Amino acid sequence: EPEVTQTPSHQVTQMGQEVILRCVPISNHLYFYWYRQILGQKVEFLVSFYNNEISEKSEIFDDQFSVERPDGSNFTLKIRSTKLEDSAMYFCASSEAYNSPLHFGNGTRLTVT
Amino acid sequence: AQSVTQLDSHVSVSEGTPVLLRCNYSSSYSPSLFWYVQHPNKGLQLLLKYTSAATLVKGINGFEAEFKKSETSFHLTKPSAHMSDAAEYFCVVTPIGTGTALIFGKGTTLSVSS
């Protein structure tokens, strides 16, 4: 069964550095998402992406964050000037169509020191 | 505003006994409701979904959930727990027609003992 893949599985970075989290969505899916889960807290929506542009974003997704689909397969989340509170598990997801169930990757655990 | 409340943060059952994970939702619109499961060090896997068709929804691994509008509930059940069911379970809502963002509950940790 096709799946969403995320790399790396664990990323450690120093405060103030930039990180790029990578995702390869399922190939025939059209909608792409990033969610995050801070340890012990709820899974939170960050952003959705469709047709090469952001279709929806949450209050969390401020100017520190950006997303890109640099080629036909990858979907990236860039976090600039990382802060300690950015430490979390970041999940990428994709869906075939609007309101179709989301398929999630295994996540990237980001640790900011 | 839309929200989900998972009534139990932790549920413990014995293998072979029934499982009940409770979820209540709040939505101004007719919601789509989902249950996702997360095994340790794994991604979120869809168990089942409700999208205004049959109110009793069957999912994978023997799980099912019943949508009860009068009670605004979407509880997850399984007749007989298996050790492999031990995981974190999330009740999720997305209102139809107002975007694609999923709203997650806080999660329920299911422990299964032999």
Among B64, B30, B103, B106, CA closest to A33: B103
Burial class (CB in 10 A: 0-12, 13-18, 19+), A5: middle
pLDDT value, residue B100: 67
Least CA distance to B92: which residue of chain A? A43
Taking chain A (113 residues) in runs of 10, the rounded mean pLDDT of each run is 90 97 94 93 91 91 94 93 97 87 92 98
CATH topology of domain B1-53+94-114: Immunoglobulin-like (2.60.40)
Domain boundaries A5-112, CATH class: mainly beta
- Min CA distance, A17 vs chain B (Å)? 25
Give, rounded to a whole angstrom, the gap between the first and last alpha carbons of chain A.
37
- Looking at residue A102, the DSSP 8-state letter turns out to be P
**CB distance B43–A99 less than 8 Å?**
no
Q: Which amino acid is at B38?
A: Q
Q: What are the extents of the domains in chain A?
A: 5-112
Predicted confidence (pLDDT) per residue in B7-34, tens digit: 999 999 999 999 999 999 987 677 889 9
Q: Are B83 and B14 in contact (CB under 8 A)?
A: no
How far, CA to CA in Å, does B51 sit from each of A99, A101, B55, B57, B86? 9, 10, 9, 9, 26
Q: Are B9 and B107 in contact (CB under 8 A)?
A: yes
- Min CA distance, B110 vs chain A (Å)? 15
**CB distance B100–A44 less than 8 Å?**
no
Relative to beta strand B3-6, strand A88-95 is unpaired
- B99 pLDDT higher than 70: no
Number of Cβ atoms within 10 Å of the Cβ of A18: 11
Predicted confidence (pLDDT) per residue in A54-66, tens digit: 998 999 999 999 9
Would you call B105 an interface residue with chain A, using a CB distance cutoff of 8 Å?
Answer: yes
Starting at the edge strand found earlier in the chain, the sheet holding A65-68 runs A5-7, A19-24, A75-79, A65-68
**CB distance B102–A104 less than 8 Å?**
no
Q: From the centroid of its chain, how far is CA B4? A: 10
Question: Which of A45, A55, A101 lies closest to B46 in CB terms?
Answer: A101
Predicted confidence (pLDDT) per residue in B43-60, tens digit: 899 999 988 778 899 999
